[in-house]
Structure 1
């Protein structure tokens, strides 16, 4: 995601929802929520394994290159898949030592992680920032230390890095907007009430996904937006609270656009808890087979758009650069619209 931070928005909408903890419907939803976190647990286990592998001196001495990777968090499903992909790619290259750190979803922790990797004199640094502005300074420190830096997924506010690898979030947002217009009646005729749930307000992907969406939907006078900028911080539970409030305040909601699949699904669960999920279309972004694609196939999300994790490609590019080959300044990863029409085949292609 080629990004630079945009303007700040309003705070998050919150609501307290009381439930009967022994009800069957709630138990089923809790089981589904736990299923969606399994991938995160796998990613965390893989991360621990990597840390153990890279700690042995004998292991490190066999390596040609030492590459550091600063990940913002390991608990979100997309981030877990991100780590899984980069670790799988690293296993194909016996001449590298990959050091993976977990920023624990805190900018200050991630800054400290990168500073530690700089002190370890890594041959190359891969970083996926929590916030563009928050990581710009330490990325510049790495550049000043003559370490090639490969920025993944979210960009930083300096152009001195070696390469950026990620999806085009504005393009994905436009694709989501085009499909929303189609769902709401078609170009020139679209009408309906839309709830947009933002990702982190300090991240450029959220701004790009919103801007791309509005480039299309704002041309339709029949489309009304029900919320000011409401941040779900990319998290399912926060999106649930935002949607619960929106449902209480609005008798008619036609479509929800969540900046990622967990938030779109959180909105779906809030609507389902009050029996209104069938009257609303839900669009998300990420398109992980075990997450968004499965939710679309189950009829819980109407559509998702793939946001390919950049870890494997980023590592390949870093190795290419270290071996003396030229690399492009920017690599843009492709996207794909996933609906009920193609979700089953995608699951089949992924062994699901």
Structure 2
């Protein structure tokens, strides 16, 4: 059997310290495994991605028959492409991939499909439908929920008035476009709502959102709502407003609802609301194992969402053991 790099689940705590760790696999351990499953992660620097990795590693620990290989694309499309090419060469039994960019990963995903490796696309789709399964949230649905809530905050359908700063995620990612499009399905119906920025990308990062918001605050005396495509960007905007004493005049809406971030920020009164965007790692791994065991899997699995506000944030935290 080939020697491979893989995450040694017995060293779970050490792996979590850096989110993803790589240890040389020993043949004695590898021989006990029935399936080798590769997972190509886009990056580990975003908190949601870090939780994503924790979830898939924790799920793998429940399956002693599985050897899990996790790679980190380091937020670079070319690095992630090289990671997937390496997993193909290692002849993994199944490939899970969460693309940094849909178009950028399509070609190498097709290579895996052509190599007869079942591919499970997680979170962000690719520009082919020949994969085995897609697992993720419905970003357009979540965007609609956020847009509907923003309209409510500004006075309700037909009466809403106010200004919105929208901070995009990565412009090359489908989730950012879906979260934008879904949001605007509601806000664009309201003539009293004005959007102040034109496609300003925070690249999913708190510090970049801070800078965008700092500029917006200098240029606009009235901002009613900030809609960040994820919680760290919404929180970065909040911090920028706080630094100039305007945070109490603005409502901040984010997406992700990680317990230690978005839900806590809502509970603390820093964000007005966040919408759950569940990580697909655990479900994706379960589905891959199911497929490898000869069971039929659906083409698409859509994970549910939930609105978290001050009314239910504490209950959500208690449910998560916090």
Q: Output the TM-score relative to the length of structure 2.
A: 0.95
2:117 aligned residue: 147
**Deviation string, structure 1 residues 11-32 (Cα, Å, up to 9, x no partner):** xxxxxxxxxxxxxxxxxxxxxx
Tell me, in whole angstroms, the C-alpha distance in 2 between the residues paired with 1:151 and 1:324: 19
2:162 and 2:223 in contact (8 A); partners too: yes
Tell me, in whole angstroms, the C-alpha distance in 1 between the residues paired with 2:216 and 2:194: 14
Tell me, in whole angstroms, the C-alpha distance in 2 between the residues paired with 1:343 and 1:300: 12
SS at match of 2:136: strand
Tell me, in whole angstroms, the C-alpha distance in 2 between the residues paired with 1:226 and 1:338: 25
Structure 1, unmatched stretches of 5+, are 1-40
The two structures, once aligned, show a CA RMSD in angstroms of 1.0
**Deviation string, structure 1 residues 64-115 (Cα, Å, up to 9, x no partner):** 0000000011121100000000000000000010000000000000000000
Which of 299, 308, 314 is equivalent to 1:338? 308
2:19 and 2:50 in contact (8 A); partners too: no
Q: Work out whether 1:216 is the aligned partner of 2:189.
A: no
| 1:72-83 map, 5 Å | 72-83=42-53
SS at match of 2:20: helix
Tell me, in whole angstroms, the C-alpha distance in 2 between the residues paired with 1:115 and 1:351: 39
Tell me, in whole angstroms, the C-alpha distance in 2 between the residues paired with 1:55 and 1:210: 43
1:44 and 1:80 in contact (8 A); partners too: no
1:244 aligned residue: 214
2:273 aligned residue: 303
Q: Work out whether 1:159 is the aligned partner of 2:132.
A: no
How far the C-alpha of 1:44 sits from its partner, in A, is 5.0
| 1:164-313 map, 5 Å | 164-313=134-283
Higher RCO, 1 vs 2 (CA within 8 Å, ≥6 residues apart): 1
Distance change in 2, residues 1:42/1:244 (3 Å): farther
How far the C-alpha of 1:42 sits from its partner, in A, is 7.3
Tell me, in whole angstroms, the C-alpha distance in 1 between the residues paired with 2:31 and 2:19: 22
| 1:100-119 map, 5 Å | 100-119=70-89
Tell me, in whole angstroms, the C-alpha distance in 2 between the residues paired with 1:245 and 1:311: 36
1:7 aligned residue: none
1:47 aligned residue: 20
How far the C-alpha of 1:45 sits from its partner, in A, is 3.0
Q: Work out whether 1:128 is the aligned partner of 2:101.
A: no
How far the C-alpha of 1:350 sits from its partner, in A, is 1.3
Tell me, in whole angstroms, the C-alpha distance in 1 between the residues paired with 2:190 and 2:307: 21
1:33 aligned residue: none
How far the C-alpha of 1:46 sits from its partner, in A, is 4.6
Structure 2, unmatched stretches of 5+, are 1-13
Tell me, in whole angstroms, the C-alpha distance in 2 between the residues paired with 1:42 and 1:237: 26
1:44 and 1:74 in contact (8 A); partners too: no
